[in-house]
Amino acid sequence: MGRGKIEIKKIENVNSRQVTFSKRRGGLLKKANELAVLCDAQVAVIIFSGTGKLYEFASSCMEQIVARYHQTRGRLQLAAADVQPDNQVILHEQPTVEIEALRHEIEELHLMNRRMMGKELDELTYNELHKLEHQLAEGLLSIKDRKEKLILEQMERSNQQEKKIALQNEALLEKIEELRQQARVSSNIENHLSLSKDCCLSSSSMHEWRSKEVASDTSLRLGISPISAIASEATKMPKLEKSNDVMHLD
């Protein structure tokens, strides 16, 4: 969804006007640079802020572009006067004083830029050096403030990313613990089944052992040894059959 249309009029609030100037100035200079690079054009932009501060951009040499502009503009005006002679066009040449003033101002700005870079400081007095130092200190403070702001923003993003990773780790740990509990439950069930099977086998063996023990106790009470009892049981049936046969013969 695009932004709404902004009414083009002077911004009354000073702070808002300064912010808008900074943003749009940067956008204008960026577009000028892109136009120069993409289209191989010679572009020059000169901006004076509401406080009289100069901002400029030139794809090559500013003086050459300005001189070429004046030459081309003069030729166009002469050509227009030749095409329409009946209009009595009066050409006003650019005053030499104004041109020289602009050229001198541009040179001063370039010199100030070089001095702010730490060059050509020999001709400056103590007060001028102190003023330049103050300007550089203010600029340095602004740069440090901006750096601190960027660092804080980066730290905030890092903290948010760290919290996100911590939450993911907690979720993974919970999943691992859940899987471990499931494994413990399965192991307990298998152990229970194995113990139940062993108990059944032990009960059967115990029952057989008790049966044998009862039989042994009975034999002991009757005064028969377990071995004699077993032998007696083994020979009992054949003797009875023989006795029956004898009785039948009589």
Q: What is the pLDDT of residue 31?
A: 92
Query: Which residues, listed in sequence order, are joined to residue 162 by a DSSP beta bridge?
Result: none
Has residue 4 got a pLDDT over 50? yes
Query: Where do the domains of the chain lie?
Result: 167-249
Q: Any idea what DSSP says for residue 60?
A: S
What is the structure's pLDDT at 250?
Answer: 42
Instruction: Give the pLDDT score at 91.
Output: 45
Q: What is the pTM of this model?
A: 0.32
Q: What is the pLDDT of residues 153-190, one digit of tens each?
A: 999 999 999 999 999 999 999 999 989 888 888 888 87
In the predicted structure, residue 210 carries a pLDDT above the cut 90: no
Nearest-angstrom CA–CA distance, 159 and 157: 5
pLDDT tens for 36-71 read: 899 988 899 999 888 888 889 988 888 888 888 888
pLDDT confidence of residue 172: 92
pLDDT at 79 over 50: yes
**Per-residue DSSP letter, 59:** S
Say how far apart CA 92 and CA 87 lie, in whole Å.
15
Closest among 49, 73, 44 to 60, alpha carbons compared: 44
Q: Which residue has the tokens 């227009």?
A: 80
What is the phi/psi pair of residue 122, to 5°? Answer: -65, -35
> Could you give the 3-state DSSP secondary structure of residue 9?
coil
CA distance 231 to 219: 12
